[in-house]
Structure 1
Amino acid sequence: MRGGFEALCFDLDNTLVDRNRAWQAFLEGWLRDRFPHTPATWRKRTLAELVALDRHGWAPSEDVDAHLVKALGLDDREVNRLRIQWRGAIPRLFTPDPAVTATLAAMAPQLPMALVSNGSGENQRRKLAAAGLIPFFPPEFIFISGERRCAKPGPGLFQAALAALGTPAAATLFIGDDPVRDILGAHAVGMATCWISNGRADVSLPQSPDMIISSIPDLEGFVHARHEPHTCHA
């Protein structure tokens, strides 16, 4: 399975965990509780607007917060309360995915693995624990932007992970869903890249990845394919 790779680096949101599904489920419940007397059609439309504004978690949180204030009439205190509620809901929204954990369990004995994620340390570590992923990533191989004061697509997190792993960039495969923060960022420091498409066919990729797969369970069968781009349509 090695096929020239000496280590693997993973993004977290929408790569190892379904952050989009969790965020949508959270917002749906929040809208129902916060605006109980509004028509269901309004809540459905508002949910769609918030999900679209979020852009798979790529949108700056301040943009989402500003929309909550302007469009829904919240004040800053309510927005802050919403963020606190989100953190508290993470343990029930992010549950272990047996297919993902089985894939990591199969690869972990063969290759060292690091986690490289943007986000707050508190939120990302809560997600890791809730999804049952802590056993696969030793503390020295977890790199979170909120704890490191550098973020993808800048080189800092990638370089820190490579230094900890002790592997050459070209022999280290980065797996992520974000075309810019993950694929372009990892490529810029010389890493091989694997894009998680999550079923998307219409995303413009600023940098061609070495591999394209639909989801993490597809990775085990394709990680050996280092030199030629491959697409898995599972």
Structure 2
Amino acid sequence: MLIESIDTLIFDLDNTLIDRNAAMRLTIQTWLTEQGCKGKRLQTALEDCMQHDNWGYADRLEFSAWMLGKYGKSKDTTAKQVQQLLHINNSRNVQPDPQVQTLLQALRNRFLLVLATNGGSRTQRAKLQHTQLEQFFQPEAIFVSGEMEYEKPDPRYFHRIVNELRLDVASTVVVGDNLLNDIKAAGECGLYTCWVSHGRVKNTGTEPTITIGNITEISAWSKQLI
């Protein structure tokens, strides 16, 4: 059980509540196959692309241009077209996770659940629908940067959420996988933070309030925050 003082949980979406990397791997694999990659070359190219994708932290248009220049076979295709294709197919390839659904079902009985995600409105809301996570958040508690003036890591992004929902920063935890966008930005706003590390080593000076390996480890908070 979480500590008594916490009443609100703000969740990131990609690689926090959903396995965005798995969906992107499938999306890129399909695209590379269409470009004629097969066998060992396909696997090598796929790992190369995933490394450059960098958990989605790479600039989307620059990544698409790089991928097109190295592996694309059509001279008529533009980087913007590849970017749009990746966005659309990635949102379709995300899969529901029964463990996450069970977790959110239990948490919403005690906490206000808020979703805070960067990305375009169409893409991110499609992900919510395809993973069946939309049901766990009230409409007014879903914040997509594509529908706002700001995006993470701009502190005004979190300030707007706090102000609109009238949250108490002393009783709110932001949960996310990105040390800059989720953890550092939220911490600068006075919010508690939980970094979902996925086994990665922290390589910045940012200090989360707590760290967990996977979203399903939320029960560890009771031991780490007291």
Which residue matches 1:156? 156
Higher deviation after alignment, 95-104 or 74-83: 74-83
TM, length-normalised to structure 1: 0.88
1:207 partner amino acid: T
Q: Is the CA contact 1:112–1:165 (under 8 Å) kept in the aligned structure 2?
A: no
**Distance in 1 (alpha carbons) for counterparts of 2:170 and 2:80:** 42
Counterpart contact for 2:195–2:210, Cα < 8 Å: yes
Q: Secondary structure at the match of 1:109?
A: coil
SS in 2 for 1:224: helix
- Percent identity reads 30
Once the 2 structures are TM-superposed, how far is the Cα of residue 224 of structure 1 from its aligned partner?
A: 3.5
1:204 corresponding residue in structure 2: 203
Task: Give me the whole-angstrom Cα distance separating, in 2, the residues matched to 1:70 and 1:34.
Answer: 12
Question: What residue in structure 2 maps to residue 42 of structure 1?
Answer: 41
| TM-score, structure 2 as length reference | 0.91
**In the alignment, which residue of structure 2 is the partner of 1:11?**
12
Note the C-alpha offset of 1:223.
3.6
Matched-pair contact (CA < 8 Å) for 1:69–1:76: no
Query: CA offset at residue 87 of structure 1?
Result: 4.1
Q: Deviations over 1:67-100 (max 9, x none)?
A: 0243234557343443443344346411210111
Identify unmatched segments of 5+ residues in structure 1: 229-234
The one-letter amino acid of 2:174's match is: F
Aligned counterparts of 2:110 and 2:169: Cα–Cα separation in 1: 18
Relative to structure 2, which stretch is displaced further, 158-167 or 122-131? 158-167
Deviations 1:134-181 (A, max 9, x none): 011111111111111311111122112212332221221000000111
- The answer to whether the 8 Å contact 1:3/1:225 transfers is no
Compared CA separation, residues 141 and 7, structure 1 to 2 (3 A): same
Choose 133-142 or 41-50, whichever is displaced more.
Answer: 41-50
- What letter matches 1:19 in structure 2? R
Counterpart amino acid of residue 32 in structure 1: T
What letter is aligned with 1:224? S
- Relative distance call for 1:110 and 1:76 in structure 2 (3 A) is farther
Unaligned stretches of 5+ in structure 2? none
> Residue 3 of structure 1 contacts residue 224 of structure 1 at CA under 8 Å; is this kept in 2?
no
Task: Give the secondary-structure state (helix, strand or coil) at the position aligned to 1:22.
Answer: helix
SS at match of 2:77: helix
Residue 180 and residue 164 in structure 1: after superposition, are their counterparts in 2 closer, same or farther (change >3 A)?
same
Distance 2:28 2:206 in 1: 33
SS in 2 for 1:153: coil
- Match status 1:123 vs 2:123: yes
The farther-off stretch of 43-52 and 102-111 is 43-52
Count of residues paired in the alignment? 224
SS in 2 for 1:175: strand
Q: Is the contact between residue 155 and residue 188 of structure 1 (CA under 8 Å) also seen in structure 2?
A: yes
Would the aligned equivalents of 1:184 and 1:206 in 2 still touch at CA under 8 Å? no
